[in-house]
Amino acid sequence: MEAFRPYVAPDHSMRDFSLRAVLVGAVFGILFGSANAYLGLRVGLTISTAIPLAVIAVALFKSMEKLWGKATILEANIAQTTGSASSSLASGIIFTVPALFLWGFQPGLVQIALLGMLGGMLGIVFMIPLRRFLIVKEHGRLPYPEGTAAAQVLIAADTGGSKATFVFQGLGIGALYKGLLSFAKLWPSELHLKIPGLKKGLLGLEATPALLGVGYILGFRIGAIMVAGGLLSWLGIIPLIAHFGESAAVPLFPETHKLISEMSAGEIWSRYVRYIGAGAVAVAGIITVLKSLPTMLESLKIGMKELTPGAMAEVARRIRTDQDLSFRIVIGAVILFLLISIFSPFVVGFHQSFLTRLMGSLAIAFFAFIFVTVSSRIVGLVGVSSNPTSGMAIVTLLGTSAIFFTLGWTDALSKTAVLTIGTVVAVAASIAGDISQDLKAGYLLGATPKRQQAGELFGAFSSAFFIALAVITLGDVYGFGTREIPAPQATLMKTVVDGVLQANLPWGLVLIGAGFAIVAELLSVPSLPFAVGLYLPLSTMTPVFIGGVIRQMVEYRNRSRQAHPADEQNQTGVLLSSGLIAGEGMMGVAIAAYAFLEGARPAGVPFGLHGLLGDLVSLIMFGALGYYLLFLATRK
């Protein structure tokens, strides 16, 4: 097998970690992270900003060449690595912390920032010993779509020519398309089709360029597995619940107000199917952990060996592109976390007892290590934007709540302890997925891993305070759980903790999901992508599947040309898809920033298309985009 050759040769020395690179990354990371905090609290999803940051870093460095000299491609990579950490912190914090406010507690700015910093530190250092296994040994099997796309953007900007043409063409199309959808609102972004004869059976399509591009990069198999999980939910489980629950005269637990006959398909999904999906994600995560045990143990074994004097000398002789931060830093960071967490009154809940802080700190370390591994692997398949961080947080909350319930710790303060434990783990899992994408980009570019890891740590520490400030400000202005800031994920976390500690969680639904994940594994279907399909809306999975179908068609039509596998990453379709992801991501963050500054969502234009005509136009535009991707990817 031919050895992989990165864009910058390992024996080539090039400036990368510089003051301007980390400062540019930190400043734009704070802006993007704050905007993402608003977006996540508003709709329950966040946008990966690694690719937009890569584009902005390139543009800024090129525009400032006369002032501070020419910047290298590896400096631009360090800038996007540093900045992208902020969005991961935002995801972990907004999915959990607002639940504290919903309970009537008021965590302070320092406490929220500290939770973000500690979670970010754990997520980064736990990923260090996994890099050689997930990024290097799994190269070719784990595509890491955003990391691949970010690398393509940087290479295209560095080389120019036809590569740059396709990437920046995708950038323009993706940004324009997203702007017309979400800012101008000329036509709807989501399409729904009721299935005749199937009670509340519903197909959905989120007609956006980024998801199409992600599907193309992922390929047909993973896209098909994910959409299969979604189809099971929306064409199987929801119609079954609607059919058998139609005659119910009282609300069916866990719903307490509406009858099933009065609920829409979306409400049934939210109140029932998401618990099934959470159970599937939990068991699939456990299965993934069991499968990853050899990787984790081997990583620890190698890391411990590096602590000996002889091994340290050998590490120092490694080529530049195979140098990680020392395993001593990993051990030191874990010890530092335990000291702060155990002896500080603000990490595990509010002024808990020493025993509670000790138990909570050990729970954080345990769950964080597990879900860093799970997150780092799953984002290699589905990307950061589809990383089920909230599902991992739910598993953490379930496990910790069960321990607390067994110990009799069920009062209001115990809820805060469980929630803060989940916050640190959610941040750790989220940022582990982010740095995995960054390290993939660095692997393709020929970056030095230890400098990327240092940049990510700097980005996490520098942005935590500002993300916390944004969350508190949004809560003060709008209030959590309101129409403006519904905080859907945090509301779900609150429900889970209340359910376990008050012994009213719908365990039957959770166990049904667990059963689905086990059946998938027995059928040799990867359970984690399947579980993600169960957990997320079908409308999110459909465009990913369509992108995978287009990739399959391209490979079939190009098979006769006998293209060398090593050239696959340079194919036009991957370049254009990378641009589509970057373009929508940049415009999405820009719209979120605008909404954050203005205090309201863009109202759209008066002549925006609605109803059947709007759906038809949306379908035509998305179909045209898919055809254009197919046309360019198959053109000689």
Condensed to tens digits (0 to 9), the pLDDT of residues 343-356 reads 988 899 888 889 99
Give residue 537's region: left, alpha or beta (phi > 0; psi -120 to 50). beta
Side chain identity at residue 565, one-letter code: P
Give the residue from 335, 352, 504, 492 showing the smallest Cα distance to 420.
Answer: 352
Mean pLDDT of the chain: 85
With residues binned 3-state (H G I as helix, E B as strand, rest as coil), the percentages for the chain, rounded to 5, are: 75, 0, 25
pLDDT at residue number 568: 43
Q: Greater confidence, 36 or 550?
A: 550
Residue 633 belongs to some domain of the structure = no
pLDDT at residue number 604: 56
**Cα–Cα dist 581/370, whole Å:** 29
Q: Find out whether 228 and 530 touch, Cβ atoms under 8 Å.
A: yes
Give residue 256's region: left, alpha or beta (phi > 0; psi -120 to 50). alpha
pLDDT at residue number 423: 94
pLDDT band (50, 70, 90) for residue 454:
very high
Residues in the chain: 636
Kindly report, residue by residue over 30-42, the tens digit of the pLDDT.
888 887 787 778 7
* Residue 194 host element (H or E): strand 190-194
Residue 4 gets which letter from DSSP?
A: P
Residue 488 belongs to some domain of the structure = yes
- Please state, as a whole number, how many other Cβ atoms lie within 10 Å of the Cβ of residue 350: 17
Kindly report, residue by residue over 117-131, the tens digit of the pLDDT.
999 999 999 999 889
Residue 344 gets which letter from DSSP?
A: -
Alpha-carbon torsion 130, 135, 140, 146, what sign?
positive
pLDDT at residue number 566: 36
**Cα–Cα dist 490/607, whole Å:** 35
- Give the Å distances, CA to CA, from 6 to 282, 307, 380, 439, 599: 36, 29, 18, 12, 45
Residue 571 belongs to some domain of the structure = no
**Cα–Cα dist 157/464, whole Å:** 30
pLDDT band (50, 70, 90) for residue 596:
low
**Cα–Cα dist 226/205, whole Å:** 14
Tokens found for residue 470: 């944004």
Kindly report, residue by residue over 414-442, the tens digit of the pLDDT.
999 999 999 999 999 999 999 999 999 99
Residue 472 belongs to some domain of the structure = yes
Average pLDDT over residues 150-167: 76
Count the domains in the chain.
1
Asked if omega into 98 is within 30° of 0 (cis), the reply is: no
Name which of 256-265, 294-303, 318-327 the model is least confident about. Answer: 294-303
**Cα–Cα dist 588/559, whole Å:** 36
pLDDT at residue number 1: 43
pLDDT band (50, 70, 90) for residue 600:
low
Q: Greater confidence, 270 or 234?
A: 234
Q: Is the pLDDT of residue 311 over 60?
A: no
**Cα–Cα dist 237/487, whole Å:** 26
Residue 47 belongs to some domain of the structure = yes
pLDDT at residue number 456: 94
Give residue 192's region: left, alpha or beta (phi > 0; psi -120 to 50). beta
Note if the pTM is more than 0.85. no
Q: Find out whether 254 and 499 touch, Cβ atoms under 8 Å.
A: yes
Long-range contacts of 538-541 (CB under 8 A, 24+ apart): 538/202, 538/203, 538/204, 538/227, 538/230, 538/231, 538/233, 538/234, 539/190, 539/191, 539/192, 539/204, 539/205, 539/206, 540/206, 540/211, 540/230, 540/386, 541/223, 541/226, 541/227, 541/229, 541/230
pLDDT at residue number 145: 85
Residue 8 belongs to some domain of the structure = no
- Domain of 492 in residue numbering reads as 19-157+228-537+588-602
Residue 65 belongs to some domain of the structure = yes
Side chain identity at residue 274, one-letter code: R
**Cα–Cα dist 491/499, whole Å:** 12
Residue 572 belongs to some domain of the structure = no
**Cα–Cα dist 613/610, whole Å:** 6
Q: Find out whether 453 and 84 touch, Cβ atoms under 8 Å.
A: no
Q: 361-384 as b/e, with b when 16 or more CB fall inside 10 Å? A: bebbbebbbbbbbbbbbbbbbbbb
